[in-house]
Structure 1
Amino acid sequence: MSGDVDLTCSLNRAYIPPNKGQRLFLDIEIAPITKAIPGFLPVNVCLLIDRSGSMVGKKLNNAKKGAINLVNQLDSNDYCGVVTFESEVDIVVPCQYVTDKPMFENRIQRISVGGSTEMYEGLETAFAELRRSLQINSSGKEPVRRVILLSDGQPTDGRYVSEYRGLARKMREVGISITALGIGKYYNENILSALAEDSGGMWYHVLSPDKIPEIFSNELANMKTVVLSRPELVLKLSQGVELADIYKSRPDVHRISNIQRISNEYRIPVSDVRTGEIQTITARIGVPPRPEGEWRIAHVSVVSGAVCRRENVIAHYTSNQALWNETDSYSRTLFAVTETQIKAKDGLSGDKTAFKQAETQLKVLLKESEATHIKDIADRTAVLEKIINKATVMSEEEKKEAKSELTMIKR
């Protein structure tokens, strides 16, 4: 591995009454160690571009421009391929080391528009292309593996969101994440966000075709700052402790569903760790009644190859009532604002019950001191208030933009 990682866990209450079950909020932060000097990991990237009929004009032209710019920034030890999809899938450039950039440019320039939007088959093909690199990588370093997907339309393959999630999870098992870019008002953001969430990637709503080259370049720059690829969060709960809910809270917001559970151990693939970026996981847990004394309620670790960081989460059962007050209200409030963001996104997708819950939870949040005094919480609460107040008059494209704003946390 090229880098190192730090792990910090905190509970909203460190001291709790004995012989009584409690609900606690756990905050888990994963961050690169700043003193570690990163050596760039090799990049394995497959560009997956929608060339259906609706991409005609500026969208496809900017996609080709962005693809060429990205290839020209790669090194000879990087690995790249280009796949397009419409009614059929075409391997424009098979995944290979980037030693002939004029060949890449020539083939990318020849991409033209076609018919419908067979996205699922396109993803399967990109997956197969990147898997080829698993056998030939000889650098000794785990590379950063990424599919950059760009689409402007509804898939016409008849696949369910659950099937896309299943494919994304298979890809993450071998270290591939998906950056999903949706442009315009007709693409399916529920599919694109699901692909990003379950692969440890990111979903972007692209406001203008002119932004495509810039986003492609930014994505490559992000890949070049990865210091730890393919990390996994392992949460081992002590007997009687229950995991009620768990969310990703930073730098993107979503419900965590890609979880492998064996008994009381939860294994969660997380995004690649890169310099300057903290990942935050927030959870609501239930702890059982216990007598007075110190008790480990969870063992948390981050694992990637030979790198492993561990931390015990300790609760103190005590009869001293003076110690029962909340010691870290931020953990609870962060969970609350994250959950409200997720419910607001569900509401914008048509879940009326979730939207009502978001409205109710926002009212409670606005009464919390953190909603105005802690910048992170205050910024999120302000975004929530703006979006919830305007939701009933939003167009479909405005709803996509709002969901993107609720997903991406500004640094």
Structure 2
Amino acid sequence: MDSTRIFSAGEADRTQWVGADSDPDRTQFAPPAAGADLDATQYAAPPTSSVTLQCLVENAYAPAARNAPAHLLVQVQAPATAYGRRLPLNLCLCIDRSGSMEGEPLDFVKRACAHVVDLLDPNDILSIVTFAEDIEVVMPARRVVNRQLIKEHIQRIDTGNTTNLYDGLLTAGRQIASVQSPAYLNRLLVLTDGEPTTGIRDFQSIVGQVAELKGRGISVTALGFGPDYNEELMAGIARRSGGNYYFIARPELIPEVFRKELESLLTVVAKSLRLQLHLTRWTQVRQVYGLQPSYHPRGVTMDLVDLERGALISALVEVELQRRPAGTYRVAQAQLTYDDLASGRTQQVSADAVVEFVTDESRLLEGINPVVQREVEVARASRHLERTVMGMKTQALSSAAAIAELERTQALLTAQGRLEQAQEVTAAIHSLRRGDSGAEAEKTLMGTILDLEQGQRKA
């Protein structure tokens, strides 16, 4: 049995199973799940979530007689206006105080931390950890009640010598976990200006520890300052934990970046977003763009970043639609589970991807969805940008060749409306044209790649 057909008019109550040789002009549907009660009346539940979900298909039509690739675009949309009270933050500032931070850099960090204190309220939890060759808990996790006392603790931070990033992150995670609760939005902000030089230093161990924090509901935002930090490590920290990544070129920019990150946290409306894409028979996953998926026999699961007010998160998946009898089929269902911060409840929404399989392939030109096609172009631009950065790092590309590649990427991102990322690419081009070593451009572009991978932007 290949599909279910619903007849109209006098036969509206009848469900008939039909075979592949039946009338292809009838509308056909995939059969219900095994064990479902076919006699039960199904009612749609009233909407309970302000977060919306849609699952778009690259083309409304697909060839019935042959296998064909297709892209599915899942979009998660947050409301543009605030509703309810924001969730209190459980925030830890994890600060590098190695010898290279002495002077102006550490002075601006102290100023930035003091500004964070001013933006928080007594319902928020704050802790401060610093790392050099040893780890210091400047302030254990506590409510932001006495702002002046907290600022006095911050002013006493002094520089050390080496950089023990691993143990700094470990201690900061423990501070957050000491008061961890679903009633808080947990975030760790780590700032460093160099490579780890003492303690556990390898990439896999540090990023693995961050992944463990993510499993406990703690995201990590990575802030790299100056020309000497490891941008691949810092971007890896953000990628594995669902946090953000920033490149801070000059010390006077540190307070502004802290402010930007904190203000984004104050607008989060949903956390712990998990997207499951369930595929129906005759549909298979070919690849997932950007995100880090886990595959299962009938689909794929992806963890998404926290959703900010007025933001749109996109997840792009390429599938193969296998040949089948002509008709209309559901090829996939997207299901999103998340914690709604206004209601304090776990919510779930779903959306179907439906395609009509046709024998007349001339109809394929009629069904193209430009929204999905734009996202496909952006995903390809992101991968092209990765290759360009790798060519710069390995010196396989000259400065002139890198500029030419970046100009193509910049034009594509501009054409697809990704103006913020296009501006970052433009900044990297200007850096290369000034004759810089390329380190600043690479650090800027690493953030651009991560932004495109995570798929969140203002709608």
Residues 47-75 of structure 1: CA distance to partner in whole angstroms, max 9, x if unpaired?
00001111111111111111111112211
Alpha-carbon offset, residue 341 of structure 1: 2.1
1:37 Cα deviation after fit: 1.6
Report if the CA contact (8 A) 1:183-1:207 is conserved: yes
Residues in 2 aligned to 1:291 and 1:308: alpha-carbon distance in whole angstroms: 33
Q: Separation in 1 of the partners of 2:395 and 2:336?
A: 35
The one-letter code matched in structure 1 to 2:302 is I
Task: Report which stretch shifted further, 93-102 or 336-345.
Answer: 336-345
SS in structure 2 of the partner of residue 295 of structure 1: strand
Residue 406 of structure 1: CA displacement? Answer: 4.7
1:166 aligns to what? 208
- CA change 1:51–1:311 in 2 (3 A) is same
Which of these residues, 335, 344, 347, is aligned with residue 307 of structure 1? 347
Specify whether residues 280 and 92 from structure 1 end up closer, same or farther in structure 2 by C-alpha distance, changes over 3 A only: same
Contact 2:192 2:225 in 1 (8 A): yes
Superposed, 1:295-374 pairs within 5 Å as 295-305=329-339, 306-325=346-365, 326-350=367-391, 371=412, 374=415
- How far off is 1:80 after superposition? 0.8
Distance (Å, rounded) in 2 between the aligned partners of 1:169 and 1:353: 31
Q: CA deviation at 1:243?
A: 2.5
Greater Cα offset, 69-78 or 389-398: 389-398
Identity %: 25
C-alpha distance after superposition, 1:204-263 (max 9, x if no partner):
11121111112212222111111112221122222443333323xxxxxxx222x33333
Query: Is the 8 Å Cα contact of residues 18 and 319 (structure 1) preserved in structure 2?
Result: yes
* Paired residue type of 2:189: I
Q: So what's the TM-score if we normalise by structure 1?
A: 0.85
Does the 8 Å CA contact 1:154/1:186 hold for their aligned counterparts?
yes
CA RMSD after TM alignment: 3.2
Query: Which residues of 2 match residues 4-403 of structure 1 at below 5 A?
Result: 4-34=50-80, 37-134=83-180, 137=181, 142-156=183-197, 157-247=199-289, 255-257=290-292, 259-305=293-339, 306-325=346-365, 326-350=367-391, 371=412, 374-376=415-417, 395=437, 396-403=439-446
- Give the distance between the partners of 2:150 and 2:422, measured in 1 at CA: 45
Q: Which moved more, 1:219-228 or 1:159-168?
A: 159-168
Does structure 2 conserve the Cα–Cα contact (< 8 Å) formed by 1:180 and 1:204?
yes
Deviation of 1:355 (Å): 7.6
Offset at 1:142?
A: 3.7
**Are 1:83 and 1:125, in contact at CA under 8 Å, matched by a contact in 2?**
yes
Find the residue that maps to 1:69 and give its secondary structure: helix
51-60 or 384-393, which moves further after superposition? 384-393
Stretch deviating more after TM superposition (294-303 or 234-243): 234-243
Give the partner amino acid of 1:183. Answer: F
Provide, for residues 117-154 of structure 1, a one-character-per-residue CA deviation record: whole Å limited to 9, x for no partner. 111111111111111122xx4xxx64211111111001
Report the CA distance between 1:331 and its aligned residue: 1.6
1:315-343 CA-partner distances (Å, limit 9, x unpaired): 21111323212511442342233233234
Letter in 2 for 1:323: R
> TM-score, normalised on structure 2?
0.76
Secondary structure, counterpart of 1:278 in structure 2:
strand
Residues 169-215 of structure 1 deviation map (CA, whole Å, 9 limit, x = unaligned)? 22222221111111111001101111111211110111211111122
**Which residue identity does 2:378 align to in structure 1?**
V
In the alignment of these two chains, the number of paired residues is: 391
Deviations 1:299-330 (A, max 9, x none): 11221142111101112111132321251144
- Superimposed CA distance per residue, residues 101-122 of structure 1 (whole angstroms, 9 cap, x where no aligned partner): 2332121111111111111111
Inter-partner Cα distance in structure 1 for 2:147 and 2:177: 22
Shift of the 354–299 alpha-carbon distance from structure 1 to 2, 3 Å rule, reads farther
Q: Is the 8 A contact 1:341 1:384 kept in 2?
A: no
SS in 2 for 1:271: coil
Q: SS of the residue aligned with 2:161?
A: coil
Bigger CA radius of gyration: 2
Distance 1:30 1:117, change over 3 A: same
Whether contact under 8 Å (2:80, 2:311) holds in the other structure is no
Q: Answer whether contact 2:414 2:422 (CA < 8 A) is retained.
A: no
